[in-house]
Each structure stands twice: as C-alpha cells, then as structure tokens.
Amino acid sequence: DTAVSQTPKYLVTQMGNDKSIKCEQNLGHDTMYWYKQDSKKFLKIMFSYNNKELIINETVPNRFSPKSPDKAHLNLHINSLELGDSAVYFCASSQSPGQTNNEQFFGPGTRLTVL
Amino acid sequence: AQSVTQLDSQVPVFEEAPVELRCNYSSSVSVYLFWYVQYPNQGLQLLLKYLSGSTLVKGINGFEAEFNKSQTSFHLRKPSVHISDTAEYFCATQGNTGKLIFGQGTTLQVKP
C-alpha cells in the first residue's frame, strides 16, 4: 500500500533513555515532516526535510535530532528523554513546498510515554 | 505571522442534525487553508482544502467549507452528521516553507 508508515506505534520508556522513531513514505514525495501532538491535542511542527536537507527547525531542544538517510525516510532520535516529551509524534510527507498542490499525508502516529 | 483560531473546543450535536465548525485565519500573504479530521487513535486525514478559485470547497464524507476573505473565515459544514463523524477536527493554514499551522482543534461529538 502507498502510505506513510511509522514504527513503533507505541513506545513506553524511562526518563533519561534514548529512543528513535522511524518514518518511511513510498509516495515519491520530496519533503517530510515531524509534528508533535501534546496531551491537549495541539499539533505543532518540529522539523521538515526537503531532499534530505533540513528546512524547518522550530526551536526544538537539541535532544531531538532528525536524520534523513534518503528522501523516503525521516527518523527522529530523542536523547535523555523527559516526562514532557510524552506525546504523539506524527510523520508526514508532501511534494516540495513551492508546489501549489502541497497536501501533506500523515502517518498513524507514535504514542511516546515517558515514565 | 500566519495563524488559525478554532472558535469552539467542543461541539455536541445530535445525529442527522447539521453542524458548523468555525475557523478564523490571520495572514498577510496568499492563504492556503485546510481541514483535517483525526478519528480516535488514528492519524490525520485531509477533509478538504482551499488553494484558490471557488470559495465553496467540497470535501470527503459530505463536508464542505466556504472561504470568506472579508470575514477571514473558513468554516466547515455538514448538513446531516452521522455517529461515525465523531472525531477531532483541525483547521490549518500553510506557511511558505510548507509547514502546517494548526488551530487548537474542535471535538465533534455526535449523539444518537
């Protein structure tokens, strides 16, 4: 199926640990995003990559490091996890930002719980 | 700076009744507007979008929205809702870097 996929779907971990979330899209898109949805369901952009280059970094702590090995993958690594990192993380992809039809397709989300 | 405001955090409605979810936007540049739906424990799905042209936009599942430049609004409407429409609805605008700027979300609760 053509889609945006994320692994894992659920992630429960202890404070201080390091964890990664993976995202893959097979839509042939050039741009990928990470969004964070907090406990109040508010969605906010974290990062965006276009053809493996970082184009958006929205004042996210340095503990968060995105990595894009190729334009079909955008992984999110989080060091020294804190309680406040508990949230649902969504990956999305789209064509290049400059194109008019720039619909973003979202993955199913990864629910991160930090204990 | 671009932003959107969803005026209602929760909208309860009975099945088969009409519904309107309100969204106002703020932007000094060309406006792209979107409505996304999030069903429980799922990702976001695009309902409809306004990029240019006709101000009345029709989307999936019987939803439509009207772009009103004078009132800076992009309200979502459905003439008759179903139980299955119960979900979280997000209005969003798009910056020139492609990022989506979301409103606070509106919970639509359809009651039998």
Distance from the Cα of B15 to chain A's closest Cα (Å) equals 24
Cβ-defined contact of B98 to A100 (cutoff 8 Å): no
Partner A contacted by B106 (CB < 8 A): no
CB A111, CB B43: distance < 8 Å: no
CB-based contacts of A86: which residues, under 8 Å, 6+ apart? A39, A112, A113, A114
Contact list, B44 vs chain A (CB under 8 Å): 43, 90, 92, 106
Let me know how many helices (H) and strands (E) chain A has, helices first.
0, 11
A70: three-class secondary structure by DSSP:
strand
pLDDT of the residue at B76: 98
CB B58, CB B47: distance < 8 Å: no
User: What is the C-alpha to C-alpha distance for residues B73 and B40, in angstroms, rounded to an integer?
Assistant: 26
Q: Between β-strands B106-111 and B10-14, what pairing exists: parallel, antiparallel or unpaired?
A: parallel
Does residue B30 carry a pLDDT above 80? no
Q: What is the mean pLDDT of residues A51-78?
A: 90
Nearest CA in chain A to B43: A108
B54, exposed or middle or buried, with CB in 10 Å at 0-12, 13-18, 19+? exposed
CB-based contacts of A61: which residues, under 8 Å, 6+ apart? none
Half-sphere exposure at residue B105, Cβ-oriented, CA atoms within 13 angstroms: 17
User: What is the C-alpha to C-alpha distance for residues B108 and B85, in angstroms, rounded to an integer?
Assistant: 7
In chain A, where the domains are located: 4-114
Domains of chain B and any CATH numbers: 1-57+97-112 (2.60.40.10)
CATH class of the domain defined by A4-114: mainly beta
User: Model confidence at B51, in pLDDT bands (50, 70, 90)?
Assistant: confident
Q: What does pLDDT average to over chain A?
A: 91
Q: What is the mean pLDDT of residues A66-74?
A: 92
- For A43, which of B96, B98, B102 is closest by C-beta distance? B102
Does residue A96 carry a pLDDT above 90? no
